[in-house]
Copies of this chain bind each other. A is one copy, B any other.
Amino acid sequence: MAQSTAETDANTYEQFLEKVRRIENLGAGAGVLQWDQEVKMPDEGIEARSQQLSTLSAVIHEEFTDEEMGAYLNELESTDLDDEQAAVVREIRRQYDRKTRVPTELVEEISRTTSKALPKWKEAKAEDDFSIFAPILEELIELKKEYAEHIDPDADPYEVLFADYEPYIELEKAEEMLARLREELVPLIDSVSDSDAELATDAFAGEFDPDTQEKLARDALDVLGYDWDRGRLDTAPHPFSTGNQFDARVTTRFDETDLLGGLTSTIHEFGHATYTLGLPDEHYGTPLGDSRDLTVHESQSRLWENHVGRSRAFWELFHPRVEERFPDVEASGEDAYEAANQVHDDNLIRVEADELTYHMHIVLRFEIERELIEGDLSVEEIPETWNEKMEEFLGIRPDTDAEGCLQDIHWSHGSFGYFPTYSLGSVLAAQLYANADEEIDDLDGKIREGEFDPLREWLVENVHRHGARYTTPELIEEATDEAFTADYFLEYVTEKYGELYDL
């Protein structure tokens, strides 16, 4: 292997990093355009906006996959690099390989097909008619299989697709974890359903003015310590969080009849934004200043949403704020805690599910999409398979496909392999929270007092500040001194729901 002088190496690495930063900046620019499109853009703006985004995406692709990038990677891989440099090269190499292996025509065809699939899915859902969506879903499945084949012809195609969302956790590991969730949660949910415990489920029943809900959401972000100099709150039909360590924005939505939904959605997105804000400023524009993949990102949102935002301590702290904004509400901290943790065993909709049944929705999707990609299930069989699994896992059966297999947008985006990261994120949240709880003196008491800095600092120190320096398993090991495990999650839900439902 050719070994250049130390000085040349340093120059090459700096030039490479300059190129990486350039690409990241273009990507960040596209992110602002997407935020604007969802949150601020007037309707008719879409015509020009889609051209702007498609140009940006073409420029990014060209810059990422050009000969110069290949040459930098080859040269740097045969050079002595320090740990940080090696991590940057590892991350860029992985993306470079995935991008260069797929022919541009196929990328464009997938992009065209998903553009057509989205309105078809919307129509199918609105009309409750799966046959409207089925043909284009079939096309998408074939295209994504072809895509996977280009990236790695020897691998299980679902494994390749899954790695687009979670590259460092092996599919086998994810599968084991989901199987364990299914095995242990189904009986737990059954016991909850059989329980006679009466929770204060009506604590937040009523109608709530959205403008006042927004004020309450801002109260929650104030209490949790959101940095308004580096963020903002807006509403969007599908809440998301986006940005970088200098500007990480939260979106949420408010439903007049669902006060808790707006709050938990806000806290969830706050968790994502808090991760982004914890990334090191000095590494902006490189993988060292960028977040890890979906499992870790989702662990941060779920940690704040569930372990904080659905905790007794939080509701003891926060219920007076609800009463200040909505004087008609008379819910004690305990009432609020119970309402926020009610298990809805008759709920058909994933995004409205509680901490327990949620994972059954994910296991169902995971099992279906694996079989779809492997060719063991045909598109026409989806509705029936879906309904059977709902019956098997939760004892309920959707009356319509709109409330069944048409409820989620993901497949219309061609996103097969995305769903599992939601459950993996929850599982990791529990593992991280258990460690933080161990290491922070009286964390529960601190939350009750509104002191969130220790928890946030623990997460910055153990997760955020590393950016993408470590792979996901390395990062988990680094933060918790053990491998990724569902033990903590199962312990957490067993204890919490055992107490709530007198099991």
Contacts and interface: CB of A to CB of B under 8 A. Distances in A.
A153 B12 CA distance: 39
A47 B228 CA distance: 15
B44 A229 contact: yes
Nearest to A28: B52
Nearest to A228: B42
Interface in A401-423: none
A237 interface: no
Q: Is the interface of A mostly helix, strand, loop or mixed?
A: helix
A29 B52 contact: yes
Contacts of A244: 48
Task: Assign chain A's interface to a size class.
Answer: 35 or more
Nearest to A232: B42
B48 A284 contact: yes
| Copies of chain A in the complex | 2
Contacts of A33: 29, 32-33
Contacts of A281: 47
A46 B47 CA distance: 28
Interface of A: 21-22, 25-26, 28-30, 32-33, 36, 40-49, 51-56, 58-59, 227-232, 243-247, 249, 281, 284-285
A384 B269 CA distance: 57
28 contacts: A21-B51, A25-B52, A25-B54, A25-B55, A26-B52, A29-B29, A29-B33, A29-B55, A32-B33, A32-B36, A33-B33, A40-B40, A40-B232, A42-B228, A42-B231, A42-B247, A44-B227, A44-B230, A45-B230, A45-B246, A47-B246, A47-B281, A47-B284, A48-B244, A48-B245, A49-B246, A49-B247, A51-B284
